[in-house]
Structure 1
Amino acid sequence: MLCLSAEGLLPKIDYAIFADTGWEPGAVYSHLDRLENDIAGPADIPTVRVSTGNIRDDALNPNHRFASMPLHILNQDGRPGMARRQCTSEYKIKPIKKKVRDLIGYPFPKRIPSGVYVEQWVGISTDEFHRAKDSDVAYMRNRHPLIVDMNWSRADCLRYLKARGLGQTPKSSCLGCPYHGNAQWRHIRDTSPEEWQDVVAFDTAIRTGSARANANGTPLLGQAFLHRARVPLDEAPIDRVTAHELAQRQLELVDEEDLEQGDLDGCSPWSCRSGSPVQADYDQAA
Protein backbone atom coordinates (compact mmCIF):
# COMPACT_ATOMS: atom_id res chain seq x y z
CA MET A 1 0.00 0.00 0.00
CA LEU A 2 2.91 2.33 0.72
CA CYS A 3 4.34 1.66 -2.75
CA LEU A 4 0.97 2.17 -4.41
CA SER A 5 0.55 5.47 -2.60
CA ALA A 6 4.09 6.59 -3.42
CA GLU A 7 3.49 5.83 -7.11
CA GLY A 8 0.17 7.67 -7.16
CA LEU A 9 -1.88 4.55 -7.86
CA LEU A 10 -3.59 5.21 -4.54
CA PRO A 11 -4.06 8.60 -2.84
CA LYS A 12 -1.09 9.96 -0.96
CA ILE A 13 -1.15 8.91 2.67
CA ASP A 14 -0.29 11.26 5.52
CA TYR A 15 1.74 8.76 7.56
CA ALA A 16 2.92 5.17 7.50
CA ILE A 17 3.08 3.65 11.00
CA PHE A 18 5.06 0.55 11.94
CA ALA A 19 4.39 -1.03 15.33
CA ASP A 20 7.63 -2.61 16.55
CA THR A 21 7.39 -5.44 19.09
CA GLY A 22 11.15 -5.30 19.52
CA TRP A 23 11.55 -8.92 18.40
CA GLU A 24 11.17 -8.86 14.64
CA PRO A 25 13.56 -10.74 12.36
CA GLY A 26 16.58 -8.72 11.28
CA ALA A 27 15.36 -8.95 7.68
CA VAL A 28 12.20 -7.02 8.61
CA TYR A 29 14.16 -4.11 10.09
CA SER A 30 16.44 -4.03 7.04
CA HIS A 31 13.43 -4.01 4.74
CA LEU A 32 11.79 -1.23 6.76
CA ASP A 33 14.94 0.88 6.39
CA ARG A 34 14.81 0.33 2.64
CA LEU A 35 11.14 1.33 2.46
CA GLU A 36 11.84 4.51 4.39
CA ASN A 37 14.89 5.49 2.32
CA ASP A 38 13.88 4.39 -1.18
CA ILE A 39 10.09 4.69 -1.27
CA ALA A 40 8.56 6.73 1.53
CA GLY A 41 11.28 9.37 1.66
CA PRO A 42 11.29 10.31 -2.05
CA ALA A 43 7.47 10.41 -1.98
CA ASP A 44 7.54 12.69 1.07
CA ILE A 45 5.54 10.22 3.16
CA PRO A 46 6.59 10.33 6.84
CA THR A 47 7.17 6.93 8.45
CA VAL A 48 6.69 6.51 12.17
CA ARG A 49 7.92 3.63 14.34
CA VAL A 50 6.02 3.09 17.57
CA SER A 51 6.68 0.66 20.39
CA THR A 52 5.67 -0.21 23.93
CA GLY A 53 8.75 -2.29 24.63
CA ASN A 54 10.48 -5.53 23.71
CA ILE A 55 8.08 -8.46 23.97
CA ARG A 56 10.87 -11.00 24.49
CA ASP A 57 12.60 -9.05 27.24
CA ASP A 58 9.30 -8.21 28.93
CA ALA A 59 8.27 -11.88 29.09
CA LEU A 60 11.51 -12.77 30.84
CA ASN A 61 11.56 -9.77 33.17
CA PRO A 62 10.18 -10.64 36.65
CA ASN A 63 9.42 -6.95 37.24
CA HIS A 64 7.40 -6.43 34.06
CA ARG A 65 3.75 -7.23 33.41
CA PHE A 66 3.50 -9.99 30.83
CA ALA A 67 1.11 -9.48 27.92
CA SER A 68 0.22 -13.09 27.25
CA MET A 69 1.43 -14.70 24.02
CA PRO A 70 -0.65 -17.50 22.46
CA LEU A 71 1.74 -20.15 23.75
CA HIS A 72 0.92 -23.80 23.21
CA ILE A 73 0.17 -25.35 26.61
CA LEU A 74 0.50 -28.93 27.77
CA ASN A 75 -1.69 -29.20 30.86
CA GLN A 76 -0.85 -31.38 33.84
CA ASP A 77 -3.42 -33.95 32.76
CA GLY A 78 -1.79 -34.19 29.33
CA ARG A 79 -4.49 -32.24 27.49
CA PRO A 80 -3.42 -29.51 25.05
CA GLY A 81 -4.38 -25.88 25.51
CA MET A 82 -3.41 -22.41 24.41
CA ALA A 83 -2.65 -19.25 26.34
CA ARG A 84 -4.59 -16.06 25.74
CA ARG A 85 -3.41 -13.74 22.99
CA GLN A 86 -2.78 -10.28 24.42
CA CYS A 87 0.45 -9.50 22.57
CA THR A 88 -1.14 -8.05 19.43
CA SER A 89 -3.22 -5.67 21.51
CA GLU A 90 -0.38 -4.64 23.81
CA TYR A 91 2.48 -4.30 21.35
CA LYS A 92 0.75 -3.29 18.13
CA ILE A 93 -2.77 -1.92 18.54
CA LYS A 94 -2.18 0.16 21.67
CA PRO A 95 0.90 2.01 20.42
CA ILE A 96 -0.71 2.67 17.03
CA LYS A 97 -3.83 4.12 18.64
CA LYS A 98 -1.73 6.22 20.98
CA LYS A 99 0.25 7.64 18.07
CA VAL A 100 -2.91 8.32 16.05
CA ARG A 101 -4.33 10.30 18.95
CA ASP A 102 -1.10 12.30 19.17
CA LEU A 103 -1.07 13.00 15.43
CA ILE A 104 -4.62 14.37 15.40
CA GLY A 105 -3.92 16.50 18.46
CA TYR A 106 -5.90 14.65 21.11
CA PRO A 107 -3.46 12.68 23.25
CA PHE A 108 -4.92 10.45 25.94
CA PRO A 109 -6.87 11.27 28.10
CA LYS A 110 -8.04 14.27 26.08
CA ARG A 111 -11.51 13.67 24.64
CA ILE A 112 -11.77 13.40 20.86
CA PRO A 113 -14.75 15.39 19.50
CA SER A 114 -17.42 13.58 17.55
CA GLY A 115 -16.67 13.58 13.84
CA VAL A 116 -12.89 13.79 14.22
CA TYR A 117 -11.29 10.66 12.83
CA VAL A 118 -8.52 9.24 10.68
CA GLU A 119 -8.91 6.82 7.78
CA GLN A 120 -6.69 3.86 8.48
CA TRP A 121 -5.62 1.59 5.63
CA VAL A 122 -5.42 -2.11 6.39
CA GLY A 123 -3.58 -4.33 3.89
CA ILE A 124 -5.98 -7.24 3.51
CA SER A 125 -6.29 -8.72 0.02
CA THR A 126 -9.32 -10.29 -1.63
CA ASP A 127 -8.21 -13.78 -0.52
CA GLU A 128 -8.92 -12.78 3.08
CA PHE A 129 -11.87 -10.44 2.73
CA HIS A 130 -13.44 -12.13 5.77
CA ARG A 131 -10.78 -10.48 7.92
CA ALA A 132 -11.81 -6.99 6.85
CA LYS A 133 -13.44 -5.46 9.91
CA ASP A 134 -14.42 -2.04 11.16
CA SER A 135 -12.39 -0.28 13.80
CA ASP A 136 -13.53 -0.54 17.40
CA VAL A 137 -13.09 3.19 18.09
CA ALA A 138 -14.87 6.15 16.49
CA TYR A 139 -11.70 8.13 15.81
CA MET A 140 -10.30 5.47 13.44
CA ARG A 141 -12.17 4.24 10.35
CA ASN A 142 -10.70 1.23 8.60
CA ARG A 143 -10.38 1.15 4.83
CA HIS A 144 -9.16 -1.82 2.80
CA PRO A 145 -7.66 -0.41 -0.44
CA LEU A 146 -6.38 -3.74 -1.76
CA ILE A 147 -9.98 -4.96 -1.82
CA VAL A 148 -12.01 -1.80 -2.46
CA ASP A 149 -9.70 0.14 -4.81
CA MET A 150 -7.43 -2.46 -6.41
CA ASN A 151 -9.41 -5.72 -6.22
CA TRP A 152 -6.06 -7.45 -5.68
CA SER A 153 -5.38 -10.96 -4.47
CA ARG A 154 -2.23 -12.01 -2.66
CA ALA A 155 -0.82 -13.18 -6.01
CA ASP A 156 -1.45 -9.71 -7.49
CA CYS A 157 0.44 -8.13 -4.57
CA LEU A 158 3.37 -10.51 -4.99
CA ARG A 159 3.61 -9.81 -8.72
CA TYR A 160 3.53 -6.07 -8.09
CA LEU A 161 6.28 -6.24 -5.45
CA LYS A 162 8.43 -8.52 -7.58
CA ALA A 163 8.17 -6.16 -10.56
CA ARG A 164 9.52 -3.36 -8.36
CA GLY A 165 12.44 -5.29 -6.94
CA LEU A 166 10.66 -6.05 -3.67
CA GLY A 167 9.94 -9.73 -4.30
CA GLN A 168 11.81 -10.79 -1.18
CA THR A 169 9.66 -8.70 1.16
CA PRO A 170 9.78 -10.51 4.54
CA LYS A 171 6.71 -11.11 6.66
CA SER A 172 6.45 -9.04 9.80
CA SER A 173 5.93 -11.15 12.91
CA CYS A 174 7.81 -11.84 16.11
CA LEU A 175 10.70 -14.27 15.80
CA GLY A 176 9.12 -16.48 18.44
CA CYS A 177 5.47 -16.22 17.37
CA PRO A 178 3.64 -19.43 18.35
CA TYR A 179 1.60 -19.16 15.15
CA HIS A 180 4.65 -19.97 13.03
CA GLY A 181 4.30 -23.03 10.86
CA ASN A 182 7.07 -25.55 10.27
CA ALA A 183 8.25 -23.70 7.18
CA GLN A 184 8.88 -20.53 9.17
CA TRP A 185 10.72 -22.37 11.90
CA ARG A 186 12.88 -24.06 9.26
CA HIS A 187 13.54 -20.73 7.60
CA ILE A 188 14.82 -19.23 10.85
CA ARG A 189 16.94 -22.29 11.64
CA ASP A 190 18.45 -22.60 8.17
CA THR A 191 19.06 -18.94 7.35
CA SER A 192 19.79 -17.25 10.67
CA PRO A 193 21.60 -19.42 13.27
CA GLU A 194 21.77 -16.58 15.79
CA GLU A 195 18.04 -15.94 15.63
CA TRP A 196 17.38 -19.69 15.86
CA GLN A 197 19.42 -19.92 19.05
CA ASP A 198 17.50 -16.93 20.34
CA VAL A 199 14.08 -18.54 19.85
CA VAL A 200 15.27 -21.90 21.21
CA ALA A 201 16.55 -20.15 24.34
CA PHE A 202 13.28 -18.27 24.75
CA ASP A 203 11.27 -21.44 24.28
CA THR A 204 13.21 -23.03 27.14
CA ALA A 205 12.95 -19.98 29.36
CA ILE A 206 9.17 -19.68 28.98
CA ARG A 207 8.44 -23.33 29.83
CA THR A 208 6.84 -22.59 33.22
CA GLY A 209 5.25 -19.31 32.22
CA SER A 210 6.29 -15.69 32.46
CA ALA A 211 9.11 -14.60 34.73
CA ARG A 212 6.82 -12.31 36.70
CA ALA A 213 4.32 -15.09 37.43
CA ASN A 214 7.11 -17.34 38.63
CA ALA A 215 8.60 -14.58 40.77
CA ASN A 216 5.18 -14.08 42.37
CA GLY A 217 4.93 -17.78 43.17
CA THR A 218 2.28 -18.58 40.54
CA PRO A 219 4.05 -20.69 37.93
CA LEU A 220 2.12 -22.11 35.02
CA LEU A 221 0.08 -25.22 35.83
CA GLY A 222 1.50 -27.17 32.95
CA GLN A 223 4.18 -26.39 30.37
CA ALA A 224 4.38 -23.76 27.65
CA PHE A 225 5.93 -24.20 24.20
CA LEU A 226 6.41 -22.16 21.05
CA HIS A 227 5.76 -25.10 18.72
CA ARG A 228 2.29 -26.56 18.36
CA ALA A 229 3.68 -30.08 18.89
CA ARG A 230 4.24 -29.02 22.51
CA VAL A 231 7.81 -30.26 22.67
CA PRO A 232 11.02 -28.22 22.97
CA LEU A 233 11.57 -26.23 19.81
CA ASP A 234 14.92 -27.81 19.00
CA GLU A 235 13.23 -31.23 19.19
CA ALA A 236 10.06 -30.30 17.29
CA PRO A 237 9.27 -32.01 13.95
CA ILE A 238 9.81 -28.86 11.91
CA ASP A 239 11.22 -30.74 8.91
CA ARG A 240 7.83 -32.33 8.27
CA VAL A 241 5.98 -30.54 5.47
CA THR A 242 2.33 -30.14 6.41
CA ALA A 243 -0.54 -30.77 4.01
CA HIS A 244 -1.43 -27.08 4.23
CA GLU A 245 2.05 -26.01 3.19
CA LEU A 246 2.14 -28.54 0.35
CA ALA A 247 -1.21 -27.31 -0.94
CA GLN A 248 0.00 -23.71 -0.79
CA ARG A 249 3.12 -24.58 -2.75
CA GLN A 250 0.93 -26.04 -5.46
CA LEU A 251 -1.21 -22.92 -5.55
CA GLU A 252 1.85 -20.72 -5.84
CA LEU A 253 3.18 -22.85 -8.66
CA VAL A 254 -0.09 -22.33 -10.49
CA ASP A 255 0.35 -18.59 -10.00
CA GLU A 256 3.94 -18.88 -11.21
CA GLU A 257 5.19 -17.20 -8.05
CA ASP A 258 8.39 -18.04 -6.24
CA LEU A 259 7.88 -20.44 -3.36
CA GLU A 260 7.96 -18.68 -0.03
CA GLN A 261 8.78 -20.00 3.38
CA GLY A 262 6.22 -19.70 6.13
CA ASP A 263 2.54 -19.10 6.59
CA LEU A 264 0.76 -16.69 4.29
CA ASP A 265 -0.08 -14.15 6.94
CA GLY A 266 2.17 -11.74 8.68
CA CYS A 267 1.18 -10.33 12.05
CA SER A 268 -0.90 -7.34 11.06
CA PRO A 269 -2.49 -5.57 14.04
CA TRP A 270 -5.98 -5.88 12.59
CA SER A 271 -5.60 -9.28 10.95
CA CYS A 272 -3.53 -11.44 13.27
CA ARG A 273 -3.08 -14.92 11.83
CA SER A 274 -5.03 -16.47 14.70
CA GLY A 275 -8.18 -15.25 12.99
CA SER A 276 -9.76 -14.31 16.31
CA PRO A 277 -10.86 -10.71 16.83
CA VAL A 278 -8.90 -8.33 19.02
CA GLN A 279 -10.76 -5.72 21.00
CA ALA A 280 -8.34 -3.38 22.69
CA ASP A 281 -9.30 0.27 23.01
CA TYR A 282 -6.31 2.29 24.10
CA ASP A 283 -8.65 4.60 26.01
CA GLN A 284 -9.72 1.71 28.24
CA ALA A 285 -6.45 -0.19 28.48
CA ALA A 286 -4.64 -0.32 31.78
Structure 2
Amino acid sequence: MQSSTLLALSAEGTLPKVDYAIFADTGWEPASVYRHLDRLEQEVAKPAGIPILRVSSGNIRNDALDPNHRFASMPLHILTQDGKPGMTRRQCTGEYKVKPIKKKIRELLGYPYPARVPKDVFVEQWIGISTDEFHRAKDADVKYMRNRHPLIVDLGWSRGDCIRYLATLGLADTPKSSCLGCPFHGNAQWRHIRDTSPEEWRDVVAFDAAIRKGNARANATGNQLLGQAFLHRSRVPLDEAPIDHVTAAERAADPGGPADADELEHGMADGCSPWACRAEADTPTRDGFGLAC
Protein backbone atom coordinates (compact mmCIF):
# COMPACT_ATOMS: atom_id res chain seq x y z
CA MET A 1 0.00 0.00 0.00
CA GLN A 2 2.63 2.55 1.05
CA SER A 3 5.12 1.57 -1.65
CA SER A 4 2.44 1.87 -4.34
CA THR A 5 1.65 5.32 -2.94
CA LEU A 6 5.29 6.43 -3.17
CA LEU A 7 5.54 5.24 -6.76
CA ALA A 8 2.34 7.02 -7.79
CA LEU A 9 3.30 10.27 -6.05
CA SER A 10 6.66 10.19 -7.80
CA ALA A 11 5.09 9.41 -11.16
CA GLU A 12 2.65 12.32 -10.93
CA GLY A 13 5.33 14.78 -9.79
CA THR A 14 4.15 15.41 -6.23
CA LEU A 15 7.45 13.85 -5.16
CA PRO A 16 10.65 13.98 -7.25
CA LYS A 17 10.94 11.37 -9.96
CA VAL A 18 12.78 8.27 -8.83
CA ASP A 19 15.28 6.48 -11.07
CA TYR A 20 13.95 2.99 -10.40
CA ALA A 21 11.41 1.07 -8.37
CA ILE A 22 12.47 -2.37 -7.11
CA PHE A 23 10.16 -5.27 -6.31
CA ALA A 24 11.69 -8.27 -4.52
CA ASP A 25 9.78 -11.35 -5.63
CA THR A 26 9.80 -14.39 -3.33
CA GLY A 27 8.20 -16.42 -6.13
CA TRP A 28 5.19 -17.23 -3.95
CA GLU A 29 3.10 -14.06 -3.85
CA PRO A 30 -0.68 -14.22 -4.32
CA ALA A 31 -1.82 -13.85 -7.93
CA SER A 32 -3.50 -10.58 -6.93
CA VAL A 33 -0.09 -9.06 -6.06
CA TYR A 34 1.38 -9.93 -9.46
CA ARG A 35 -1.71 -8.51 -11.20
CA HIS A 36 -1.39 -5.31 -9.18
CA LEU A 37 2.31 -5.03 -9.99
CA ASP A 38 1.61 -5.46 -13.71
CA ARG A 39 -1.04 -2.75 -13.50
CA LEU A 40 1.27 -0.37 -11.64
CA GLU A 41 3.92 -0.92 -14.26
CA GLN A 42 1.62 -0.28 -17.23
CA GLU A 43 -0.57 2.50 -15.85
CA VAL A 44 1.71 4.36 -13.43
CA ALA A 45 5.43 3.63 -13.86
CA LYS A 46 5.90 3.30 -17.63
CA PRO A 47 4.02 6.51 -18.55
CA ALA A 48 6.29 8.36 -16.12
CA GLY A 49 9.46 6.68 -17.41
CA ILE A 50 10.16 4.83 -14.15
CA PRO A 51 11.48 1.26 -14.67
CA ILE A 52 10.20 -1.36 -12.24
CA LEU A 53 12.97 -3.87 -11.59
CA ARG A 54 11.87 -7.31 -10.42
CA VAL A 55 14.58 -9.11 -8.45
CA SER A 56 14.61 -12.53 -6.84
CA SER A 57 16.71 -15.01 -4.85
CA GLY A 58 14.51 -17.90 -5.96
CA ASN A 59 11.13 -19.42 -5.16
CA ILE A 60 10.71 -19.72 -1.40
CA ARG A 61 8.10 -22.49 -1.66
CA ASN A 62 10.14 -24.65 -4.02
CA ASP A 63 13.32 -24.07 -2.02
CA ALA A 64 11.67 -25.24 1.21
CA LEU A 65 10.66 -28.51 -0.43
CA ASP A 66 13.94 -29.13 -2.27
CA PRO A 67 16.31 -31.40 -0.28
CA ASN A 68 19.25 -30.17 -2.35
CA HIS A 69 18.70 -26.48 -1.69
CA ARG A 70 19.93 -24.48 1.27
CA PHE A 71 16.82 -22.94 2.81
CA ALA A 72 16.46 -19.69 4.76
CA SER A 73 13.79 -20.59 7.28
CA MET A 74 10.32 -19.13 7.53
CA PRO A 75 8.96 -18.18 10.99
CA LEU A 76 6.85 -21.32 11.35
CA HIS A 77 4.66 -21.94 14.38
CA ILE A 78 5.88 -25.04 16.17
CA LEU A 79 5.02 -27.45 18.93
CA THR A 80 8.01 -29.05 20.60
CA GLN A 81 8.10 -32.70 21.59
CA ASP A 82 6.84 -31.78 25.04
CA GLY A 83 3.97 -29.74 23.57
CA LYS A 84 5.38 -26.25 24.16
CA PRO A 85 4.66 -23.56 21.51
CA GLY A 86 7.36 -21.59 19.76
CA MET A 87 8.50 -20.23 16.41
CA THR A 88 11.44 -21.01 14.17
CA ARG A 89 13.99 -18.41 13.12
CA ARG A 90 12.93 -15.90 10.49
CA GLN A 91 15.57 -15.78 7.77
CA CYS A 92 13.26 -15.48 4.76
CA THR A 93 13.01 -11.67 4.65
CA GLY A 94 16.77 -11.27 4.60
CA GLU A 95 17.29 -13.97 1.97
CA TYR A 96 14.37 -13.36 -0.38
CA LYS A 97 13.77 -9.61 0.05
CA VAL A 98 16.78 -7.72 1.39
CA LYS A 99 19.55 -9.72 -0.32
CA PRO A 100 18.28 -9.39 -3.93
CA ILE A 101 17.52 -5.69 -3.44
CA LYS A 102 21.03 -4.98 -2.18
CA LYS A 103 22.49 -7.02 -5.04
CA LYS A 104 20.57 -4.98 -7.62
CA ILE A 105 21.49 -1.67 -5.98
CA ARG A 106 25.18 -2.58 -6.11
CA GLU A 107 24.80 -3.38 -9.81
CA LEU A 108 23.05 -0.07 -10.47
CA LEU A 109 25.85 1.79 -8.67
CA GLY A 110 28.42 -0.05 -10.78
CA TYR A 111 29.98 -2.04 -7.95
CA PRO A 112 28.61 -5.59 -7.99
CA TYR A 113 29.66 -7.88 -5.14
CA PRO A 114 32.45 -8.45 -4.11
CA ALA A 115 33.66 -5.06 -5.34
CA ARG A 116 34.01 -2.43 -2.62
CA VAL A 117 31.63 0.53 -2.97
CA PRO A 118 33.55 3.83 -2.49
CA LYS A 119 32.42 5.79 0.54
CA ASP A 120 31.16 8.71 -1.55
CA VAL A 121 28.96 6.49 -3.76
CA PHE A 122 25.47 5.74 -2.48
CA VAL A 123 21.81 5.43 -3.43
CA GLU A 124 18.99 7.32 -1.74
CA GLN A 125 16.41 4.65 -1.10
CA TRP A 126 12.79 5.57 -0.45
CA ILE A 127 10.94 3.23 1.87
CA GLY A 128 7.16 3.06 2.19
CA ILE A 129 6.60 3.48 5.92
CA SER A 130 3.76 5.75 7.05
CA THR A 131 3.32 7.77 10.25
CA ASP A 132 1.45 5.00 12.07
CA GLU A 133 4.58 2.83 11.68
CA PHE A 134 7.16 5.57 12.23
CA HIS A 135 8.99 3.54 14.88
CA ARG A 136 9.97 1.07 12.13
CA ALA A 137 11.80 3.71 10.12
CA LYS A 138 15.50 2.91 10.39
CA ASP A 139 18.80 3.85 8.81
CA ALA A 140 20.35 1.42 6.34
CA ASP A 141 22.92 -1.07 7.62
CA VAL A 142 25.33 -0.36 4.76
CA LYS A 143 26.93 2.95 3.75
CA TYR A 144 26.04 2.68 0.06
CA MET A 145 22.32 2.95 0.92
CA ARG A 146 20.76 5.97 2.60
CA ASN A 147 17.19 5.45 3.66
CA ARG A 148 14.55 8.13 3.26
CA HIS A 149 10.93 7.96 4.40
CA PRO A 150 8.94 10.54 2.37
CA LEU A 151 5.53 9.52 3.72
CA ILE A 152 6.70 10.47 7.21
CA VAL A 153 9.19 13.30 6.64
CA ASP A 154 7.78 15.05 3.57
CA LEU A 155 4.04 14.39 3.75
CA GLY A 156 3.11 13.23 7.24
CA TRP A 157 0.82 10.60 5.71
CA SER A 158 -0.75 7.69 7.57
CA ARG A 159 -1.83 4.38 6.08
CA GLY A 160 -5.33 5.81 5.86
CA ASP A 161 -4.04 8.75 3.79
CA CYS A 162 -2.39 6.27 1.42
CA ILE A 163 -5.61 4.29 1.05
CA ARG A 164 -7.62 7.43 0.26
CA TYR A 165 -5.02 8.63 -2.25
CA LEU A 166 -4.86 5.29 -4.07
CA ALA A 167 -8.65 5.23 -4.21
CA THR A 168 -8.57 8.44 -6.26
CA LEU A 169 -6.38 6.60 -8.78
CA GLY A 170 -8.67 3.58 -8.96
CA LEU A 171 -6.22 1.52 -6.92
CA ALA A 172 -8.29 1.06 -3.77
CA ASP A 173 -7.94 -2.71 -4.10
CA THR A 174 -4.14 -2.62 -3.66
CA PRO A 175 -3.29 -5.97 -1.99
CA LYS A 176 -0.79 -6.71 0.75
CA SER A 177 2.52 -8.07 -0.47
CA SER A 178 3.51 -11.22 1.39
CA CYS A 179 4.10 -14.87 0.64
CA LEU A 180 0.96 -16.85 -0.06
CA GLY A 181 1.76 -19.13 2.88
CA CYS A 182 3.18 -16.56 5.29
CA PRO A 183 2.84 -17.72 8.91
CA PHE A 184 2.01 -14.14 9.90
CA HIS A 185 -1.29 -14.15 8.03
CA GLY A 186 -4.31 -13.38 10.16
CA ASN A 187 -7.50 -15.41 9.97
CA ALA A 188 -9.08 -12.94 7.54
CA GLN A 189 -6.23 -13.47 5.09
CA TRP A 190 -6.50 -17.25 5.33
CA ARG A 191 -10.28 -17.03 4.80
CA HIS A 192 -9.79 -14.78 1.79
CA ILE A 193 -7.51 -17.35 0.17
CA ARG A 194 -9.88 -20.20 1.00
CA ASP A 195 -13.03 -18.41 -0.15
CA THR A 196 -11.76 -16.62 -3.27
CA SER A 197 -8.93 -18.75 -4.67
CA PRO A 198 -9.45 -22.53 -4.33
CA GLU A 199 -6.25 -23.29 -6.25
CA GLU A 200 -4.11 -21.12 -3.97
CA TRP A 201 -5.87 -22.60 -0.92
CA ARG A 202 -4.99 -26.14 -2.05
CA ASP A 203 -1.42 -24.93 -2.56
CA VAL A 204 -0.98 -23.56 0.97
CA VAL A 205 -2.73 -26.55 2.57
CA ALA A 206 -0.36 -28.90 0.73
CA PHE A 207 2.67 -26.85 1.75
CA ASP A 208 1.52 -26.79 5.37
CA ALA A 209 1.36 -30.59 5.39
CA ALA A 210 4.73 -30.90 3.65
CA ILE A 211 6.66 -28.89 6.26
CA ARG A 212 5.23 -30.65 9.33
CA LYS A 213 8.67 -32.11 10.15
CA GLY A 214 10.69 -29.20 8.82
CA ASN A 215 12.07 -28.26 5.42
CA ALA A 216 13.29 -30.89 3.00
CA ARG A 217 17.00 -30.00 3.31
CA ALA A 218 16.91 -30.38 7.08
CA ASN A 219 15.19 -33.74 6.83
CA ALA A 220 17.61 -34.97 4.17
CA THR A 221 20.63 -34.09 6.32
CA GLY A 222 19.27 -35.76 9.46
CA ASN A 223 18.14 -32.54 11.16
CA GLN A 224 14.48 -33.37 11.38
CA LEU A 225 12.36 -31.00 13.41
CA LEU A 226 12.03 -32.12 17.02
CA GLY A 227 8.33 -31.44 17.11
CA GLN A 228 5.85 -30.24 14.50
CA ALA A 229 5.64 -27.11 12.34
CA PHE A 230 2.52 -25.31 11.11
CA LEU A 231 1.55 -22.27 9.06
CA HIS A 232 -1.36 -21.29 11.31
CA ARG A 233 -0.70 -19.99 14.79
CA SER A 234 -3.27 -22.39 16.29
CA ARG A 235 -0.68 -25.09 15.52
CA VAL A 236 -3.11 -27.47 13.85
CA PRO A 237 -3.19 -28.42 10.14
CA LEU A 238 -4.26 -25.46 8.04
CA ASP A 239 -7.35 -27.14 6.59
CA GLU A 240 -8.50 -27.83 10.17
CA ALA A 241 -7.43 -24.49 11.70
CA PRO A 242 -10.09 -22.24 13.30
CA ILE A 243 -9.76 -19.48 10.69
CA ASP A 244 -13.38 -18.38 11.06
CA HIS A 245 -12.71 -17.03 14.54
CA VAL A 246 -9.92 -16.42 17.06
CA THR A 247 -9.90 -19.07 19.76
CA ALA A 248 -8.91 -18.79 23.40
CA ALA A 249 -6.34 -21.52 22.78
CA GLU A 250 -4.65 -19.37 20.10
CA ARG A 251 -4.30 -16.47 22.53
CA ALA A 252 -2.95 -18.75 25.24
CA ALA A 253 -0.47 -20.38 22.84
CA ASP A 254 1.06 -17.12 21.69
CA PRO A 255 4.71 -17.33 22.85
CA GLY A 256 4.97 -13.58 23.23
CA GLY A 257 2.17 -13.26 25.74
CA PRO A 258 -1.54 -12.49 25.28
CA ALA A 259 -2.16 -12.19 21.55
CA ASP A 260 -3.71 -9.09 20.05
CA ALA A 261 -7.14 -10.07 18.70
CA ASP A 262 -6.99 -7.61 15.82
CA GLU A 263 -3.65 -8.93 14.58
CA LEU A 264 -4.82 -12.51 14.99
CA GLU A 265 -7.74 -11.64 12.73
CA HIS A 266 -6.10 -9.33 10.20
CA GLY A 267 -2.41 -10.19 10.35
CA MET A 268 0.34 -7.64 9.77
CA ALA A 269 -1.14 -4.34 8.65
CA ASP A 270 1.44 -3.66 5.96
CA GLY A 271 2.35 -7.11 4.71
CA CYS A 272 6.00 -8.13 4.56
CA SER A 273 8.16 -5.10 3.93
CA PRO A 274 11.84 -5.93 3.39
CA TRP A 275 12.81 -3.04 5.67
CA ALA A 276 10.01 -3.04 8.24
CA CYS A 277 8.69 -6.57 8.65
CA ARG A 278 7.01 -6.79 12.07
CA ALA A 279 8.59 -10.19 12.53
CA GLU A 280 12.05 -8.65 12.67
CA ALA A 281 11.48 -6.93 15.99
CA ASP A 282 8.40 -8.52 17.46
CA THR A 283 8.76 -12.27 16.98
CA PRO A 284 10.11 -14.44 19.80
CA THR A 285 12.18 -17.20 18.23
CA ARG A 286 13.53 -20.60 19.11
CA ASP A 287 16.68 -21.98 17.52
CA GLY A 288 17.88 -25.53 17.02
CA PHE A 289 14.74 -27.03 15.52
CA GLY A 290 16.42 -28.20 12.33
CA LEU A 291 14.77 -25.67 10.04
CA ALA A 292 17.77 -23.44 9.43
CA CYS A 293 20.59 -25.05 7.45
Whole-Å separation in 2 of the counterparts to 1:211 and 1:114: 41
Q: CA deviation digits over 1:113-146, x for unaligned, max 9?
A: 1121101111000001000001000000110010
Letter in 2 for 1:122: I
> 1:277 offset after TM fit, Å?
8.3
State yes or no: 1:149 paired with 2:157: no
> 1:218 offset after TM fit, Å?
1.6
- What is aligned with 2:42? 37
Whole-Å separation in 1 of the counterparts to 2:267 and 2:35: 19
State yes or no: 1:87 paired with 2:104: no
Whole-Å separation in 1 of the counterparts to 2:185 and 2:240: 15
Match of 1:244 among 261, 278, 281: 261
Whole-Å separation in 2 of the counterparts to 1:263 and 1:136: 24
Count of residues in correspondence between the two structures: 267
Secondary structure of 1:214's partner?
Answer: helix
Letter in 2 for 1:276: A
Moved over 4 A (4+): none
Whole-Å separation in 2 of the counterparts to 1:272 and 1:48: 21
> 1:245 offset after TM fit, Å?
3.0
Q: Which runs of 5+ in 2 are unaligned?
A: 1-5, 248-259, 284-293
State yes or no: 1:270 paired with 2:270: no
Match of 1:173 among 171, 174, 178: 178
Match of 2:114 among 96, 109, 117: 109
Aligned residues of 1:17 and 1:47 also touching (Cα < 8 A): yes
Secondary structure of 1:161's partner?
Answer: helix
Whole-Å separation in 1 of the counterparts to 2:93 and 2:263: 28
Whole-Å separation in 1 of the counterparts to 2:184 and 2:86: 14
Identity %, equivalent residues = 74
Aligned residues of 1:183 and 1:241 also touching (Cα < 8 A): no
Match of 2:31 among 26, 30, 35: 26
Secondary structure of 1:106's partner?
Answer: coil
RMSD between aligned alpha carbons?
1.9
Compared CA separation, residues 136 and 19, structure 1 to 2 (3 A): same
> 1:244 offset after TM fit, Å?
3.4
Letter in 1 for 2:111: Y
> 1:246 offset after TM fit, Å?
9.2
Whole-Å separation in 2 of the counterparts to 1:119 and 1:84: 30
Letter in 2 for 1:154: R
Compared CA separation, residues 78 and 246, structure 1 to 2 (3 A): closer
> 1:272 offset after TM fit, Å?
0.7
> 1:247 offset after TM fit, Å?
11
Aligned residues of 1:203 and 1:226 also touching (Cα < 8 A): yes
